[in-house]
Amino acid sequence: MVLDPGHQLGNRNFPREINRLVPAGRGQRKPCNTTGAATDGGFPEATFTWRVARLVQKRLEAQGARVVLTRQSNRDDRWGPCVDRRGRAGNRAHADLMLSIHADGSYAAGARGFHVITLPERKASARLAREVRSSLRRAGVPVANYVAGGDGLDERTDLATLNLSRVPTAMVELGNMRDRRDARRMRTARGRASYARALSRAIAAELR
């Protein structure tokens, strides 16, 4: 399986590289990558998703799974990979599924909670998304109150990570980094472990 821990930490230092347009599927082109979000205190999405992804990787590998990450570092002197490469990562690895891990950066008042994104027409991806949603709910993570109609599931056709993947794929926004309650969970080792346990359980259920 493939884990995609979102944005590289150093993306902000490489504006020319990350703003280059790349294929995004369905005839679209998008910037290679973005800088990602951050908490009001400056804790970056790249570091949060990297730490969660590594925890998920460790848990799944202990259960015998083969786990591939779309990036191998979280460094200020690195950028990418581009969204088209990330989207095709599951294809290259002949993976059973792919999960892309992110966090949102909404400034909407009171916005908090997680949501899971899939393509509208892919049943296997929708099943993965529902499993991720159920597992996060059971872990006590609140469902987003500002997007996806309040049910935690969103359908989009503008994301290269989803469009270019030929394996079951979902993207999860684990919370809103601008919300102090979500940010508190993201900043702490205990909070990140709770996300990782929930994601690991969802993936393991889909891999059975």
Say if strands 2-4 and 68-69 run parallel, antiparallel, or are unpaired: parallel
How many CB atoms lie under 10 A from the CB of residue 53?
25
What is the distance between the alpha carbons of residues 30 and 15, in angstroms, rounded to a whole number? Answer: 14
Spot the catalytic one: 17, 45, 155, 173. Answer: 173
Taking only the tens place, the pLDDT of each residue in 74-115 is: 999 999 999 999 999 999 999 999 999 999 999 999 999 999
Asked if the model's pLDDT at residue 1 lies above 90, the reply is yes
> For residue 188, what pLDDT is reported?
97
What is the distance between the alpha carbons of residues 76 and 145, in angstroms, rounded to a whole number? Answer: 33
What is the distance between the alpha carbons of residues 9 and 79, in angstroms, rounded to a whole number? Answer: 7
Asked if the model's pLDDT at residue 208 lies above 90, the reply is no
Percent of the chain with pLDDT over 70: 100
6 band by pLDDT with thresholds 50, 70 and 90: confident
Question: How high is the mean pLDDT of the chain?
Answer: 97
What is the distance between the alpha carbons of residues 115 and 49, in angstroms, rounded to a whole number? Answer: 15
Which of these CATH numbers, 3.90.1410.10, 3.40.50.11900, 3.40.630.40, 2.70.70.10, describes 2-207?
A: 3.40.630.40
The token pair at 42 is 């400056």
The residues, ordered by sequence, that sit 6+ positions from 92 with a Cβ below 8 Å of its Cβ are none
Q: Summarize the confidence of residues 129-134 as an average pLDDT.
A: 98
Q: What is the DSSP string of the chain?
A: -EEE--S-GGGGG-HHHHTSEEEEETTEEEES-----B-TT--BHHHHHHHHHHHHHHHHHHTT---EES-S---TT-----HHHHHTHHHHHT-S-EEEEEEE---STT---BEEEE-TT-HHHHHHHHHHHHHHHHTTPPBPSSSGGGTTEEE-S--HHHHT--S-EEEEEEEETTSHHHHHHHHSHHHHHHHHHHHHHHHHHHH-
Radius of gyration, alpha carbons of the chain: 16
> For residue 129, what pLDDT is reported?
98
Asked if the model's pLDDT at residue 124 lies above 90, the reply is yes
Listed residue (73, 71, 56) closest to 132, CA to CA: 56
Asked if the model's pLDDT at residue 176 lies above 90, the reply is yes
Asked if the model's pLDDT at residue 7 lies above 90, the reply is yes
Clarify whether 173 is annotated catalytic. yes
Taking only the tens place, the pLDDT of each residue in 33-56 is: 999 999 999 999 999 999 999 999
